[in-house]
Structure 1
Amino acid sequence: MKSQLCKPGNIPNSVAQKEPAPPIYWPLQAQKAILFFKLKKQQLQPAGRVVAQAKIKPLHQKEKESFFEGAELHKSIQKSSIFSKKMEFVIEQGKQPHQECSTLLLPALSIGNVGQLAVDLLVSSMKAERIGYLDDPFVLPCVGNDAYGPIPCGDLALPLEAYESAFSRVALLQQRSPVVKGRMVEFAKNLANFAAASGKKHVVLLSSLDFGKLQKIDMSSGPQIYYLSSINPDGRDDNCEQLGWKRLQEYNPAQRCWKYLSTLAEGNTMLESNLPFEDELEDEDYYPSLPFAALFSCLKAKGLKVTCLLCYCSEGDNIQDAFHLAEAACRLLGLNPSTFPGNGSGGWVIPFSWQTVYGPPPDMSIF
């Protein structure tokens, strides 16, 4: 029996070689995320020689034009190094930072993610516009859906996003991913350099503290806001006192860890022999070990005015804590949520992403 020859154009599908699809381009942080998980899967450390072998496919020219809508953003990303030690600010196409937005509001990651929830609430209520994102080597990569739009439009949520509200004259920075362990001071220095270089005059940090560390519990007047300011050496601020807030009593610039943190922020890398190991931390070392303390020290070292707004909470449903912290930020900055454009009398606009934060409500028929 004669064997049948496969003529050109009549090749079976199982044998035919399909033309490779054009490579898909992802933003820099998405590239990092893909690369990170590939390395994790192969159980390889992200060393320079391994990364050099993991090449990311280039873009076709048409894809560049359609995705970037211009060449400037593409050039800035092409120049970015995956393991650069500097923080880079990438401005979205057609956007420009407003010089009058000299106040920067951002979270410091802590228990309950209250600071992040509060920033989400403020971004949604102010209808702040995303103007770009920050790329920092000390922040773990992550990619997610848009946190504010009810309809998927293809916008990616990245680890560090920059927003501005021209109406409120406030810039906001949202952090959606934790800092690499042991690199908090380096990240804080990078962020302080960015804030100073972008002309910010006042930085407001929103964060939370472990309720189990609270020494004196006084709930007679409801949840209490605590503050820490760079205006005076002891952290006191008369304006915050007039608003009825209490200074964080645990702040002591002469205490060993606070003092060492300030030394690092000022650029002195000499180690002190009397510093405790991680498993030897005492109660007084808890507060300077938190992310807000590193950010406060580094921003203060750059000569910026810094105000930390803090609240005690526990893990769980921290929505009310986020409202409490966001309201405190508005009071500090002299803002009224009811005057935000298009919000109506209620003032606050719940972020769309909150619908799935804690899952659906319980079925009340079982009770």
Structure 2
Amino acid sequence: VYSLPSKKLAVLQIRSPFIKNKYRPFCQTLLSWVKSSKCARVVLLSSSHAYQRDDEQLLGTPLRYLLTPDLEKAVGGLMQELKWKEMEKVAAYPGINDTEKVLHIPGGGITKLLFTESCSKGIQMAVLLKFCSEGDNIPDAFVLVNYLNEWLQLIKSEVSASNNSTDTSSQWKIPSSWRLLFGNGLPPALF
């Protein structure tokens, strides 16, 4: 758990997989805590398997968002101004019935459950996600948090003089749990 009291921000990082049949009670407990804590809004950063994108999702940005109806009323227009792309719904039965569309987030863990439960409980939630591949996803994490920063302006973006673009990646504090994410480095005696 990380917090930034000056911004009234709390961050919960969940990196471990859930035990079968335990994810639903976890989601219910987490959302009950969100409601009892009177959180103004919840922003869920997640990912989805890049290899399971449909044709439409292969075009353009690998970033998507979802808003619960309660949050849509408050910030939906801003998402349009930012020119963000909403997560597409896909055919429930591809090739058989393409008219019935459902939300599908392959590899997103509890993301869909948290989102749908938040919709039904009236919780203001935004889901920001990135299509990712296997491997080192630290660069993907920076892309995702910079995407979040476009909206919430948590830190000031510095304009790079060399290419006139904004990059906040160097300003984020990397969680200590990311050190040795893939084990120890190679021993120098090897070379």
Superposition TM-score, scaled by structure 1 size: 0.40
Of residues 347-356 and 205-214 in structure 1, the stretch that sits farther from structure 2 once superposed is 347-356
Counterpart CA distance in 2 for 1:238 and 1:218 is 23
Q: Is structure 2 residue 114 aligned with structure 1 residue 295? A: yes
Instruction: Give the equivalent residue in structure 2 for 1:228.
Output: 66
Q: Give CA-to-partner distance per residue, 1:73-102, whole Å, 9 cap, x none.
A: xxxxxxxxxxxxxxxxxxxxxxxxxxxxxx
> Given the alignment of the two structures, is residue 357 of structure 1 paired with residue 181 of structure 2, yes or no?
yes
RCO higher in structure (CA 8 A, sep ≥6): 2
Over 3 Å counting, the alpha-carbon distance change for 1:178 and 1:234 in structure 2 is same
Q: Percent of pairs identical after alignment?
A: 30
Unpaired runs of at least 5, structure 2: 94-100, 159-168
**How far is the alpha carbon of 1:230 from its aligned partner?**
0.8
What SS does the corresponding residue of 1:246 show, helix, strand or coil?
coil
Moved over 6 A (4+): 232-236
Whole-Å Cα distance in 1 between the matches of residues 111 and 64 of structure 2? 13
Out of 35, 59, 80, the residue aligned to residue 218 of structure 1 is 59
- How far, CA to CA, are the matches of 2:87 and 2:103 in structure 1? 14
Counterpart in 2 of 1:348? 172
Distance in 2 (alpha carbons) for counterparts of 1:233 and 1:164: 22
Shift of 1:300: 2.3
Q: Per-residue deviation at 1:287?
A: 2.8
In 2, Cα distance between the equivalents of 1:300 and 1:315? Answer: 30
Distance 1:327 1:183 in 2: 32
Could you tell me which of 22, 28, 53 is aligned with 1:183? 22
2:98 corresponding residue in structure 1: none
In the other structure, the counterpart of 2:78 is 239
In our comparison, the structure showing a higher alpha carbon Rg is 1
CA distance in 2, matches of 1:213, 1:244: 23
Q: Secondary structure at the match of 2:13?
A: strand
Larger strand fraction of residues:
2
| 1:307 alignment partner in structure 2 | 126
> What is the total number of aligned residue pairs between the two structures?
168
Q: 1:273-296 deviations in whole A, cap 9, x for unaligned?
A: xxxxxxxxxx96743884101001
Q: Residue type of the partner of 2:174? A: I
Q: Judging changes above 3 Å, is the alpha-carbon distance between structure 1 residues 361 and 325 closer, same or farther for their aligned structure 2 residues?
A: farther
Structure 1 residues 190 and 181: alpha-carbon distance in aligned structure 2, compared to 1, 3 A threshold = same
Structure 1: segments with no counterpart, 5+ residues: 1-161, 257-282, 340-344
The 8 Å contact of residues 226 and 246 in structure 1, kept in 2 or not, is answered as yes
TM-superposed CA distance for 1:347, in Å, is 1.4
TM-score (norm 2): 0.72
- AA of the residue aligned to 1:205: L
Other-structure match for 2:163: none
CA pair 199-317 structure 1, distance change in 2 beyond 3 A: same
Report how far residue 170 of structure 1 moved: 0.8
